[in-house]
Amino acid sequence: MDSVIRDHSLTKRPTKKPVIPAPFASPYLIIFLLLSGLLFVGCGSKQKTPPNSNIVATYDDSEITIEDLERYFEERTKGLKIPVGDSLVSLSDQLPKDKETYRGLIREMVLDEMVKRKIKEKQLDNRGNIRHALEHMEDELTLQQLHAEMHEQNRIPVGENEIRQYYDENRSRFGDEPLYKVRDEIKNILVSQKEDEYVTGYINELMDAATITRNYDLLRVPEPTEQELLAAYEQNKENYLEPEKWVIDFIEVADSGATARTSAQKAWNRLGSGASFESVAATFGRDKTFISTDYIVGTRGETFDRAVTSLNPGEFSKPIEENGKYFIVRLNKKLPASYVPFDDARSLIRRLLMDEREKQLYEENKNKTLFTMHGRRYTLGDFYQEFMELPYADRERLRTYEERVKFVDRMIDRLLLLEDSYDRMLNARKKEEIEHVREDVLKQVLHREEVDQMLNVNEEDARQVYEENKELFKTPARVKISIIVVRGGEDDNSNRKAKEKIDEVYDKLRPGFFRKKMSFEEAARQYSEDPATAQNGGEVDAWISETNNPLYELFNHSFHENFIALKPGEITEPFTIGNEYIIVKVRERQEPQQQSFEAIKEHLMEDLRLQKHEELTVKMYTEMIDRANLVIYDPVLESMINKQEKGDNMQ
């Protein structure tokens, strides 16, 4: 059945779930917010007498009972597990069942209800495009259930002889595993192999029993004549004007950082002394070569254009710096702006005319019947709506008449499957799942309208943050290192021997009265137990620096804090990471560098958008809770918690 969904994937609207805050996200995020206490702290703290001893909260014209709250807690944590030590344990068993947890749950329940009321008030589910998306999701759930039913009910038969034959023919795959241990795995493999054939036969049976008419001529779009193509070219000739281009070769200097400028200057001096562009590129260029390209004026910025503009064909530029990288450019020739010849533009002109005709023709005939199934009409407009909801790449594959006929055939196959299975599968489980999906979609739409459309972050905002916090936007100091590693073990004796060995190595790295200091490289080759670096004299290629990434620092800070402040040539005293004893030498060092605004502009703007998004989201949720007039009755909560604790103690 996966193949059915795959083969008919073009007939369903792709859905992309936006990332949205709780309570619309996963239960994990919801519980996190409940425990964090960041939102709505203090809401519903008015001390009033509860209507009765079973009511934990009231809001507007509604009330929440003890049973409602306990049921909600169970639903929110059902099936969720979290790691504790080496095991996964139930989330519900780990959450503290105290007053603050339950108060958070109550706020969550009320907020969820207020969101539903807002959706109903705005009548989101009556909008055509949203209603259409909901229909597609319901269809998708039906097909998924049909897929599961086929496997659960063994509707794709696999015999014992087939299982035995597959096992015998693939013994190398299963090693020493006996047949009884891999039987289910083999059966699943064979079911998957037979699935396409089974589903094809299943659809053919439905097709034979169905009454279907087709009018595929409606899909045809007449080809433009040569005269029409030429007329369109002349009328829109300015659209086919190619800008001025320069044919250039350029060397990107391989070195980076502080040494890049020096290397670029050396390369330029070498060219000035008569060396060929090719030989200089082989010495100084990245990947030991240069790049040839057609360059369109203005695409790399003012600095690059200004440097090349002054060149005559055959001349090369001085080193050009861009974001810490250096380039030397040789100009081969300049090509003036010119019109693309009609023959070269013909395919593009044809495509534009076909798109224009298609849109007009399909709009004029949108109410005409493309096909019928059991007397139900499906119009050209129905088809075009499905077609336009496809991703661009899929629409490109369906440009020809023949491919569109196949697309409609897949629509018919899909509709036959849905019609056959919908009534049979309309059970309580599916209804509940559909309702959850429906609510999720509508909440996302509400969130976009209430929050996302109000986001307004511009470059000026980002520049102000940059200027006010310039010190925060420096690249940290970074170093290149060499290491010597001696490995200990799980027992004290192994660690004692490793400690003695590393101390001996460290002693040899320092000069004494009667001995010559051993070079770090020689010591690494002779003593280091790290196979990745020992033979290279302990060299580690990558730059190492502190970062603002908490997860990275969690695992790496204890390592690089030992040497990040050292100067080139200095070595650390022996230190330990886990059961490894390490000495580090700093070979090269780069001091912190100020990042330009342009280099981090997009990251700044994205951070500002996220910050604004969170502020607007909290504001929306807070206003909803305030309007609900929520009152939480702490005495009832405390009584409920006491009864739960007594019940747990009696078990």
Alpha-carbon gap, residue 407 to 212, rounded angstroms? 16
Q: According to the model, what pLDDT value does residue 538 have?
A: 93
Residue 38 confidence (pLDDT) above 50:
no
pLDDT value of position 557 = 57
H or E stretch at 326: strand 325-335
Pair 359, 216 in one domain:
yes
| Mean pLDDT score, 349-363 | 92
* 198-244 residue pLDDT tens: 778 777 888 888 888 999 999 999 999 999 999 999 999 888 888 88
Do 400 and 493 belong together in one domain?
no
Q: Does any domain span residue 83?
A: no
Instruction: List strands edge to edge, sheet with 376-379.
Output: 212-214, 369-373, 376-379
Q: How many domains does the chain have?
A: 3
Q: 502 with 584, same domain?
A: yes
| Residue-level pLDDT at 98 | 85
* Domain limits for position 278: 244-336
- HSE-up (13 A, CA, CB side) for residue 569: 0
In a domain, 504, yes or no: yes
Look at residues 591, 615, 640 and tell me which one is the last residue of a structural domain: 591
How large is the average pLDDT for residues 307-333? 88
Among the candidates 591, 608, 628, a domain finishes at 591
Last residue of a domain, one of 552, 572, 591: 591
Cα distance from N-terminal residue to C-terminal residue, the chain: 47
pLDDT in tens, 379-428: 999 899 888 878 777 888 888 999 999 989 888 888 887 777 665 555 54
Q: Is residue 4 part of a domain?
A: no
Q: What is the pLDDT of residue 39?
A: 45
Percent of the chain residues topping a pLDDT of 70: 81
CA 95 to CA 73: how far, in whole Å?
A: 10
289 and 327, same domain (yes or no): yes
pLDDT digits (tens, 9 = 90+) for 511-570: 765 567 889 999 999 999 988 898 889 998 888 886 654 444 445 556 778 888 888 889
The whole-number pLDDT of residue 468 equals: 85
Is residue 581 domain-shared with residue 558, that is, in the same domain? Answer: yes
495 and 442 in a single domain? The answer is no
Residue 182 has pLDDT above 80, yes or no: yes
- Does residue 253 sit in the same domain as residue 331? yes
pTM of the model: 0.44
Whether 533 is in a domain gets the answer yes
Is 50 exceeded by the pLDDT of residue 20? Answer: no
Q: Is residue 8 part of a domain?
A: no
Most confident of 35-39, 277-281, 417-421: 277-281
What does the pLDDT look like over 283-308, one tens digit per residue? 999 888 888 888 887 777 788 888 88
Q: How confident is the model at residue 613 (pLDDT cuts 50, 70, 90)?
A: confident
Query: Could you tell me which residues come within 8 angstroms of residue 587 by beta carbon, excluding any fewer than 6 positions away?
Result: 479, 480, 481, 482, 539, 568, 569
The SS3 call for residue 62 is: strand
- β-pairing verdict for 325-335 and 593-594: unpaired
Q: The CATH number of the domain where 285 resides is what?
A: 3.10.50.40
Residue 385 lies in a domain: yes
Residues 417 and 501 placed together within one structural domain of the fold = no
Residues 220 and 357 in one domain: yes
H/E stretch holding 482 reads: strand 478-487
Tell me: do 349 and 436 sit in the same domain. Answer: yes
Q: Is there a single domain that holds both residue 423 and residue 549?
A: no
Query: Closest by alpha carbon to 31, among 112, 71, 91?
Result: 91
Comparing 19-28, 347-356, 421-430, the range with the smallest average pLDDT is 19-28
The rounded mean pLDDT for the chain is 80
Task: Select the more confidently predicted residue: 83 or 312.
Answer: 312
| Inside any domain, residue 563 | yes
Consecutive H or E run containing 469:
none
Tell me the one-letter amino acid at 99.
Answer: K
Residue 555 lies in a domain: yes
Residues 256 and 281 both lie in one domain: yes
